[in-house]
Structure 1
Amino acid sequence: MSENLLDMAISHLGSSGLGALGKALGLSEGQTQSAFSTGAASVLAGMLNKAGSESGLGALLNMATNATSMDLSSPSDIFSDTNKMKSLQDTGGNLLDNILGNHKDGVINVLSSSLGLDGAKGGSLLRTAAPVIMSLVGKLVKSKGLNMSGLAALLLGQKAHIQDKIPSGLLKELDAGSLDEIAERTVVETTPRDTPHAAHTPPPAKKSGFGKWLWPLLIALGVLWALNMCAKKDKMEDETGGVVMEQDEVVVEEQPAGTGTTDDTTGSLDTTPPDSATSGDFAQNFRDYLANAQRDPNQEFPLTIEFPTDGSTPNSASIPDVQALIQIMENNPGLKIAIEGHTDSDGDAVANQQLSEERARAVRAMLINAGVDETRVTAVGMGSASPVADNETEEGKQHNRRIVVKVTEFTPQ
């Protein structure tokens, strides 16, 4: 049976947290727990509704992953402190914008009316419930290693728990006739289809075997990288005797197992595009970001990293950026990161998500086997849910196939 997130939230707040919340929101004695349950159920209904599309489900997985950095260990202290409460509600407002979109105001009005509250109190209640619920979802995503399908299953499991808690009129605001209708959308979008792409998805990288061959692989790939560079630099001379230099970016092509040739459909490589917003010198860009007190928490830092099609073992072009990231992690013990894998929209959505997760885990395993504490690195596969370019063009697809680093927590030492 799926976890009951409503019960988990009430248990987490406890009597002291609920009491402090009631005082902060001006709720009458005995009303707070019921009001919070209604607000939390409304948030979960909105999340379930958003999970009805692949992009929405991917966005929820991203929000849940980022929510693990929120410290809600002492709810009563947060609710009793004006500044902390404002910060929490600012976070909750951003979450509601992403979860409910243009339905937010309507949902707040329905909630407020059902509880006999004015709009301001109803909005404050919902902005408080959203980060509490998302934080719990984030912990489950992290502890259970949930991917998009796992998150969908978790949300679908909440249907029975929130059925009698959501306010009358909420489903209409979400453009749905019933919770079952919302659930059916999610089931359709997350059910794997029988495709060759899905059938050939490799298993996730495992730490136990990875460490044995990690450094020999890196050494061997490093030799290939160096030889390739030398070959490119000495490739040819022009008619005046000058040396013609090719571009510095090196692509060492790998052929899929069992094939004799490499072509655009069976052996092409997923490559982080050189003109991404934060590409180029990954190490310098990342260090500059950490040194900037005004950091954008959603900033992506693409790794220059390559994989064979449908494969999750990086080739030699991955070495410089991954080694730089290992060094940055060693130099900044207060730094925690998430490795996100992304694909283009070609092929089966679920298989793409699985492949992106395996690639993110492979990079995470490289860091852990190099000595980085496993609690400092999470890995998540986003599939094609968060494109940065148009998937209708080959150039756009290349941009969307990427492995990126995001900072989840940073305390300068």
Structure 2
Amino acid sequence: MSLNVLLLGSGGREHAMAWSIARSDKLDTLYIAPGNPGTAQLGENVDLSLSDFQAILRFVEEQGIDLTVVGPEQPLVNGITDFLEDNGHKVFGPSKKAAQLEGSKKFANEFMKENHIPTADFDTYRQDEFDKALSVIKKRDIYPVVLKADGLAGGKGVFICETEEEVEKRLRELKENARFGEAAETLVVEEFMKGDEASVFVISDGKTAKIIHYAQDHKRIGEGDTGLNTGGMGAYAPTPVLGSRMLQRIEKEIILPTISAMLLDDNPYKGILYCGLMITTEGPKVVEYNCRFGDPECQAILPSLESDLLDLMEAAASEELDQKNVKVDNRYRCCVVLASEGYPLDYVKGKEITGIEDVSDDALVFHAGTRRENGKILTDGGRVMNVVGGGETLPEAIKNTYREVKKINFGNKYFRSDIGAKGLAYIE
């Protein structure tokens, strides 16, 4: 049976998902809403707002959509899966309640504590208790300390504070900056965990969970992991931070307890579960859960997937994942984000992008923040494009990626030149 698929989203992650879904023998027609100039080459872009659930439902019914795939977190946290399923339609993505693992850091931390899933020690405070939070942090006098806005903040609501002055500054910012809004009505204060970060991506049908792949993201804007947090400046996969034994521990101590506890809570988790981890001297600990593919990790891992992504998604939505196998190739992939200079703060849009057609057939270019205007591709966001290269070894993948990065240009192009360097340190 061929499937009509609606993919919701417009970023680099969704372009990578569209690229992977478009390769499936099970696909009939692919629609992407709202999509971007890159996804338009793989299916039909549809002008739908991700917050207009009624319009999405009408489209699903008019076009005979067999499976709706949700890319970004916001519609999941807002309940798009429940809404479409209540109207008789199949969705790949967790329910509103299950998506609280990402939608509320307080919920996630309390869930982990209750179910003995290893994570950082934490306290939570309402916004009117921020002074109390400051007082407790001062008294403990242990730095760095991690401050997190409880709700969704586009990857920019987490601050690692080295001093009391920085804590005061970030608390004031969380309280007063309009961009945080409801996300900062509750504050989570966590201990700083030392170790190496890694991301493990799991697909689940609520009962069965299978690891798809694992990667390492680079969140900070600056070289050497300095500066402000971003949505992600690059990633590579697989990461040598995780060996086979560590992966077994992660599955046993984190993934299976998470999926089992959600099921026991009558809250089965269906979709992609992103486990952001810190590999500490005590073992793996959860930094955060996400209820969808990471961006840009998705762009680095999907090119390695030899299994049919659409087939896996349909099986997960139908609670038949136990009948499927997940297979990846043995190559390394590196993804470098091309951003607008000034991101994650103020930046200029509308710069013409050139050189995309010069990129080698061995590499992939995924659009993130772009638009097409008068036949030209222009910048239209902070993170503009993702360049993904591969190789038999990690050094080869990194070298091949940066060779292609040089071919694409726009007026205020910025990128980190050290994506994957932490992985190299493990194998040298």
Larger radius of gyration between Structure 1 and Structure 2: 1
Bigger helix fraction: 1
Bigger strand fraction: 2
Instruction: Give your verdict on TM over 0.5.
Output: no
The alignment's TM-score, normalised by the length of structure 1, stands at 0.26
